[in-house]
Structure 1
Amino acid sequence: MAGGGFIDEKGGARAAHYEYRITSYFIFACIVGSLGGSLFGYDLGVSGGVTSMDDFLKEFFPHVYRRSQEHHDETDYCKYEDQILTFFTSSLYYAALVITPVASRVTRNFGRRASILVGSVSFFAGGLVNAAAKNVAMLIVGRCLLGFGIGFGNQSVPLYLSEMAPAKIRGMVNQLFQLTTCLGILVANLIDYVFQNKHPWGWRLCLGLAALPASLMFVGGLFLPETPNSLVEQGKLGQARRVLEKVRGTPNVDAEFADLIDASKAAQAVKHPFRNLFKRKNRPQLIIGAFCIPAFQQLTGNNSILFYAPVIFRSLGFGADASLYSSVISNGALVLAALISMFLVDKFGRRKFFLEAGTEMIICMLPDMID
């Protein structure tokens, strides 16, 4: 089951009869749903710029600020080394990791829309707490609330987009989450650059602006339809069919709706699904898909660079302005790559893009390996 496509001989034959039109209802659902990506990207990108701002360091980490102004033989990077400062940034992921099992249960039992709404409330609260922070503890609490929002949003939004998307353009719609994540990072860098010189409150505005898209996501989420897949899982077949007809813009949804029902029955027929994952026949897919690919993606260091780009550039000798607009340039490349993959993924397939990206990264890293 992948967004409702049940793959067997019968389902394959039915797929040829799927009908759809791009309706305003579908576009609205995609826009609101993809706001979760922009929130993830914004919170991912904003912290690096904020932690390099002098006003922020003076208020919460004065020892780091004093060290950053000193001139002696130690490297510039060591001047920003502080475990609590690092924890302020990384607590986002710790919180997301802890809350994900809870978010998964909410998504499964109460629907994708419920998780999106809970995530938006958590994002909103985290942005406000960070903007109003008076001490390091408030900063950490705010980041944890943002992390809870990511835990709910990052597993419900891609699933929501996938299940709402017509099969023929599912890859492109799925890429909306990646595109809005990259745009969120880029916007965060631009906001950091614009407001870094608004003394002494610029950093508060940068952190607090996360509440704006969270508000839009919550209000939009109140009007979002639940996905047909989730409604079928809950046994609400009549409502599921009505939503599917409205999203597809046609009453001719018999084939797709039949596949949704078959897929749901097949999923419910699997006893002890987690135990089934660890069976010998499923181990290669489990190891590669669930462990190796996500782990290697993180071990490339990409997310660390996104988190700490402004600090890294400053440690290389860049000034405050130069470090931030250098981050804007590098993250602009992310947006461009996401746009390219978004419009070509359904034509060339996921596997070819995966192989191309891996090859490109190897080529880019070869000079460092040789040095």
Structure 2
Amino acid sequence: MAGGVVPVDASPIGNGFVGKITLSVIITCIVAASSGLLFGYDLGISGGVTTMVPFLEKFFPDILRKVAGTEVNMYCVYDSQVLTLFTSSLYLAGLVSSLAASRVTAAWGRRNTILIGGVTFLIGGALNGGAENIGMLILGRVLLGFGVGFTNQAAPLYLSEIAPPKWRGAFNTGFQFFLGVGALIAGCINFATAKHTWGWRVSLGLAVVPASVMTIGALLITDTPSSLVERGKIEQARKALRKARGSSIDVEPELEELIKWSQIAKSMKQEPFKTIFERQYRPHLVMAIAIPFFQQMTGINIVAFYAPNIFQSVGLGHDAALLSAIILGAVNLVSLLVSTAIVDRFGRRFLFVTGGICMLVCQIAVSILLAVVTGVHGTKDMSNGSAIVVLVLLCCYTAGFGWSWGPLTWLIPSEIFPLKIRTTGQSIAVGVQFIIIFILSQTFLSMLCHFKFASFVFYAGWIIVMTIFVIFFVPETKGIPLESMYTIWGKHWFWRRYVKDVEQENLP
């Protein structure tokens, strides 16, 4: 799998090494990116399962009684704190595990952390499929959260460290691509199982399949050279480099560079969580917090969680609601392919801004349509034609997200951090994401009930804020080697004040 493969690109990169795509790099990146299947499958499965009558009968009968009410406010049908806890408990657990994963990833390596996440997710999926009460259901979700926390921490790092700098963006978007595949597969499974009394068990229990695929795949790949050097496994790092770069390439200069940066990083005795708060790393810390925060404030995961609930509420019916969720998943997948094709050509900032504009227009249009058609209180019936227009607008919104904030939220944090705080920075980014997902998923159905159509205006406002943030504060990272990434801050109009002397801060 290693040897003399034909390079797709062999142009010199910023550090003087040759960056090219080999078969080994492709295979290992596919395996690592498949970690996204876990997160994607869960995002896609949860919303569909919570509309299945047998599932609601067993765990949430109050919602069925509310649906049967004579006059129903369409925004409030699924407003249940216990139901949202079923969804959001995973993300609270993911927060805890992502913070612990920083040390695990540094001590045990990226690959082993992915393995831990896969096994934990597998156990959680099995528990959910066999759940007999709310306790088992929530425990299963918590274990799923631990698994997702570990894989979301390790996989983007793995991809950024193993991929050639010129194509790092395309390879890293593979994580979000598999996330989209997982969500689409989940939607199809929900559609197929919805009419069966045991359908919810199949939908939840099949989470063991992506977990098994990823875990088995992780057993077959090596860790990244950076991680192996960081843990003192020089000979294994040399072998990993030869497999990644091809047998015809002299890997010794690159290996020596990795060893040098690793030694400098280890000479810094300060705790990484303290180091990242130093003034010189202020730009990195801001990005680690702001990028995942803004991604969630686009409202995308709320749409993913509750798409079937939303479409059923606006009048599409149960089957059509599940089918609509599948359509959204397919649109997301296509837009991710677009992002993969152009992210290393047009750059990150271009995708952020165009995606933000597209999402903004669609959110405002949806809110206006809902206000006009269903009334201020949401008690008027919506025609199928209007519901289809909502679906089209949300498809356009999903496409805008799919080529911008979807993949780039995983890419940017994984590529901007120097080695000594890389796992810590990624841990903070993933942790912030889980905090916001937990809060939003726990409150969205209640917010939808009280804010009604204005819920979409709320997210539109945040999209304006994040697009302005990107324009003024996010530097372009296209094609820059990880070890040269420090240069972007010294050249930025705002962040250079935190980097006193760029040349002196050439540290890993």
Map Cα deviations across residues 36-70 of structure 1 (whole Å, 9 max, x no partner): 10111001110000000111111111121222233
8 Å contact from structure 2 (residues 116, 150) kept in 1: yes
Alpha-carbon offset, residue 188 of structure 1: 0.7
CA separation in 1, counterparts of 2:291 and 2:126?
35
RCO (CA 8 Å, sep 6+): is it higher in 1 or 2? 1
Deviations along 1:303-354, whole A, 9 cap, x unmatched?
A: 1111111111111122101111111112222111111111111112222222
Alignment-derived partner of residue 150 in structure 1? 148
Q: How far apart are 1:278 and its partner, in Å? A: 2.5
Detail structure 1 runs of 4+ shifted over 6 Å in the superposition: none
Q: Deviation at 1:281?
A: 4.2
Q: What are the Cα deviations for residues 9-35 of structure 1, in whole angstroms up to 9, with x where unaligned?
A: xxx976343154422x33332222122
1:86 alignment partner in structure 2: 84
Matches within 5 A, 1:7-46: 15-23=15-23, 25-46=24-45
Flag the 1:21–1:336 CA change in 2: closer, same or farther, 3 A: closer
Q: Residues 13 and 247 of structure 1: is their aligned pair in 2 closer, same or farther, counting only changes over 3 Å?
A: closer
Structure 2: distance between partners of 1:109 and 1:150 = 19
* Correspondence for 1:64: 63
Q: TM-score, normalised by structure 2?
A: 0.67
Q: How does 1:46-57 map to 2 (within 5 A)?
A: 46-57=45-56
Letter paired with 1:119: G
Distance 1:340 1:242 in 2: 34
Counterpart AA for 1:215? S
2:363 to 362, 365, 370: 365
- Report the counterpart of residue 110 of structure 2 in structure 1: 112
Aligned pairs for 1:300-315 within 5 A: 300-315=298-313
Q: Letter of the 2:322 partner, please give it.
A: L
Q: Aligned-pair distance for 1:364?
A: 2.8
Identity over aligned pairs, percent: 47
User: How many pairs does the alignment contain?
Assistant: 356
Verify: 1:222 aligned to 2:219, yes or no: yes
Displacement after TM superposition at 1:179 (Å): 0.5
TM-score (norm 1): 0.90
State the distance in 2 between where 1:327 and 1:80 align: 17
CA distance in 1, matches of 2:299, 2:358: 15
CA contact (8 A) 1:19 1:252 kept: no
Which sections of structure 2, spanning at least 5 residues, go unmatched? 1-11, 372-508
Residue 242 (structure 1) shift: 1.1
Cα distance between partner residues in 1 of 2:13 and 2:302: 45
> Helix, strand or coil for the counterpart of 2:34?
helix
Q: Which moved more, 1:160-169 or 1:92-101?
A: 160-169
Unmatched 5+ residue regions in structure 1?
1-11
Q: Quick check: 1:19–1:253 contact (8 Å CA) kept in 2?
A: no
Secondary structure in structure 2 of the residue aligned to 1:79: coil
Which residue in 2 is equivalent to 1:248?
245
Kindly report the root-mean-square deviation, in angstroms, between the aligned alpha carbons of the 2 structures.
Answer: 2.0
| Residue 188 (1) aligns with residue 186 (2) | yes
Alignment of 1:289-300 (within 5 A): 289-300=287-298
Using the TM superposition, give the Cα deviation of residue 368 of structure 1 relative to its aligned residue in structure 2, in angstroms. 5.8
Structure 2 counterparts to residues 165-184 of structure 1, below 5 A: 165-184=163-182
Amino acid in structure 2 at the alignment position of 1:293: I
Which stretch shows the higher mean deviation, 245-254 or 272-281? 272-281
Determine if contact 2:122/2:207 at 8 Å carries over to the other structure.
yes
The one-letter code matched in structure 2 to 1:67 is K
Which residue of 2 is the match for residue 259 of structure 1?
257
Aligned with 1:108: secondary structure?
A: helix
